[in-house]
Amino acid sequence: MSTNASLIARRSAAIPEGLSRHLDIYIDRAENAELWDVEGRRYIDFAAGIAVNNTGHRHPKVVERVRKQLDRVVHTSFQTTPYEDYVEVCERLNAIVPGDFPKKSLLVSTGAEANENAVKIARAATGRSAFVAFSGGFHGRTLMAMSLTGKTVPYKAGFGPLVPDVFHMPFPIAYHGVSEDDSLKALERLFASEVDPSRVAGIVIEPVQGEGGFYPAPFGFLRKLREIATRHGILLIADEIQTGFARTGRMFAMEHAGVAADIVTMAKGLGGGFPIAAITGRADVMDKIPMGGLGGTFAGNPLSCAAALAVLDVIAEENLMDKAKQIEARLRATFDQWKAGTEFGCVGDVRSLGAMVAIEFVTSRETRQPWPELAKALTKAAGQNGLILLSCGVHGNVVRILTPLTIALSLVDEGITIMEKSLHQAISTLGG
């Protein structure tokens, strides 16, 4: 029988080092918000496969629908011989993505691929080439998605030259002294000094920066961006890949601001664990690419479409948007105490939008100096104590909580208890 240790050794020999290695726990099976490793140890899941298992691991309705699909057809390639579920996923996305205008959708397989297609569509629709994105943003690992990403190490360093005509501006983060106004002024400067707005095809933004550190964009800022984009004929592109599908307490995070983007990219939570991604946008924009300009062999695979239809049902039937807010409240009740108290002076900031909850660790609350070593030690200790936790942030000093939205609240409490114990251990490991 395989053990974690034997698999670590086999991995080192077989798989390149560039694939990051977070925890040395090899998973054997999973159910809703719990995982078991190959040695039978149980873990509570506060990561949800990086915001994928919003509907939990192997939700019975997702499994049932996929199983039925397995018995009918597994792959044809939609471009050659289409099938109904692809059409239905698109119809349902057109109905739920914000925006009171006709929409069309395209299905692909990954988040990066969704962003690549959003760029192609925006360029074809506007006849312009430039894009504005944000420092700290993350949009994927393919060449264009990597160029839009606003973090060099490990995502861009060594992989250049990047795609030209991508400009980054500061994301408004009050905790780090960047106000909405600072950001908007930087955009004005960018338009005046680097790229005329008449050359800009799209502004690409995550409504809550995910990998960058779980920073929600202020709602007023999103509304201003909408105005600026409209004024200059620029398409506003919302990357809802991490924030979508009930994660933030609404179906999509942009809804909190009452803003409709021209193009929305989605992935992760849509498939309930099956690989599927989507681009939904204004019908007139989406139709600008001539036939054959879009597609992909596996894009909108029948199993993934079946899963997505079940996921959309489960989100509605189980009221997962409300559940996201309950999870948020449960986590914040403890984390806010940590932030207010003196026991954990390393807790610099606590923030959330729905069930996207984060703690930013600092060496001192006064200097706000990032403490990435603590975030790393905490996620490691938590893993040893039976809790899967992820870090994030441009400096790697943020611990993010992304539970399945189907998690029992009692399990959230159990996870918090493990986090507290692990935080004490991590601090003492670092000599704090």
CB 74 within 8 A of CB 303: yes
Indicate the residue among 141 and 368 with the shorter CB distance to ligand PLP: 141
Residues numbered 358 to 397 that lie near ligand PLP (CB under 6 A) are none
Smallest separation (angstroms) from ligand PLP to the CB of 389: 16
Q: Which of 136, 140, 150, 296 binds ligand PLP (CB under 6 A)?
A: 140
Q: With left for phi above 0 and alpha for psi between -120 and 50, is residue 300 left, alpha or beta?
A: left
Using the contact rule CB under 6 A, the part of the chain among 97-105, 138-146, 248-256, 310-318 near ligand PLP is 138-146
d(CA 337, CA 115): 38
Smallest separation (angstroms) from ligand PLP to the CB of 383: 20
Q: Does 138 bind ligand PLP (CB under 6 A)?
A: yes
One symbol per residue from 236 to 275: x for binding ligand PLP (CB under 6 A), - otherwise; what is it?
A: ---x-xx------------------------x--------
Smallest separation (angstroms) from ligand PLP to the CB of 170: 18
Indicate the residue among 234 and 356 with the shorter CB distance to ligand PLP: 356
Indicate the residue among 137 and 302 with the shorter CB distance to ligand PLP: 137
Residue of 46, 78, 131, 138 with catalytic role: 138
Task: Give yes or no: 239 in active site.
Answer: yes
Residue of 239, 335, 349, 380 with catalytic role: 239
Residues numbered 42 to 71 that lie near ligand PLP (CB under 6 A) are 50
One symbol per residue from 95 to 134: x for binding ligand PLP (CB under 6 A), - otherwise; what is it?
A: ---------------xxx--x-------------------
Indicate the residue among 109 and 183 with the shorter CB distance to ligand PLP: 109
Q: Which of 45, 206, 262, 349 binds ligand PLP (CB under 6 A)?
A: 206
Q: Which of 139, 330, 339, 400 binds ligand PLP (CB under 6 A)?
A: 139
Indicate the residue among 137 and 348 with the shorter CB distance to ligand PLP: 137
Smallest separation (angstroms) from ligand PLP to the CB of 82: 24
Task: Give yes or no: 268 in active site.
Answer: yes
Smallest separation (angstroms) from ligand PLP to the CB of 210: 4
Residue of 103, 224, 268, 380 with catalytic role: 268
d(CA 71, CA 67): 7
Which residues are marked as active site?
138, 239, 268
Positions touching ligand PLP (CB under 6 A) are 50, 110-112, 115, 138-140, 206, 210-211, 239, 241-242, 267
